[in-house]
Amino acid sequence: MSNAAIEVSGLTVRLGGFTALDGVSFTALPGETVAVLGPNGAGKTTLIHVLLGLVQPTAGSIEILGKPPLQAPAKHIGYVPQLKTVDRGFPAVTCELVASGRRRSWPGRLTQSEHRETTRALEMVGAPNLCHKPLRWLSGGELQRVYLARALVRKPKLLLLDEPATGIDLVGEDDMYEYIEQYQRESGCAVLMVTHDWLAAQHHAAKALLLNRAVVGFGTPAEALSDSHMRQAFGHEGHVHPPCWEEHHD
């Protein structure tokens, strides 16, 4: 048993005849953020599902907080999915959804301490006013914050974020990373974050894992996201659109 929050070695996942992940190895230490990048279909979400125990690996070893995924304590793992599978037509208010993250069951009635912690989690993501809002009224960006609050309310030791900035405007995205980093500073929690934004990876992650079913690069963002690795993963180098005012020359 290692001290790593995530320790993956030789992970292979075959779904039917298709190899979704092939010999993937990496580690994430407590207090560390690892950004996972790669083209569509690279196996990023599959990787998160394996770490959660939702998909069984074909080969390799995985330890989450020192235990195999299905034995790892779910109460210490916060998860924000890419596709929000929540039923928006379900009769519920936001604080119930957040409280379900703490109880790991649906709350019939919130206890005082649940109400306090739910409110605190919503404050942590800058959304204290959403507590009594029905689920169906939440915008995409609000739902994203609520899901982060739902992950944080259980005070996780490991946060698994699948494209956490989806549906959020640029200012909201900065706020979101700030909330995550603030919690990480307070708790020493490890974060594994799937993202398509390599600038965000460079700014917010200590390590990056560039994936295209197999590991293309793993290390500091500068190492993992080098031009040669990007060419290998995407078929061309990454590029950034410069601000329009920089394109005008006298």
- Binding site residues, other proteins, CB under 8 A: 52-54, 70, 74, 77, 79, 81, 85-87, 89-93, 96-97, 100, 103-109, 134, 136-137
Structure-token pair, residue 17: 């005849």
Whichever of 144 and 212 has its CB closer to other proteins, that residue is 144
Cβ 249 to other proteins shortest distance, Å = 51
Whichever of 78 and 221 has its CB closer to other proteins, that residue is 78
Residue 13 CB: number of other CB atoms within 10 A? 22
Whichever of 54 and 59 has its CB closer to other proteins, that residue is 54
207-212/214-219 β-pairing: antiparallel
d(CA 175, CA 198): 17
Cβ 156 to other proteins shortest distance, Å = 12
Cβ 234 to other proteins shortest distance, Å = 28
The C-alpha torsion from 102 through 81 and 198 to 249, rounded to 10°, is -110
Cβ 231 to other proteins shortest distance, Å = 34
d(CA 165, CA 168): 5
Q: Which residues make Cβ contacts (< 8 Å) with residue 40, sequence separation at least 6?
A: none
Whichever of 66 and 219 has its CB closer to other proteins, that residue is 66
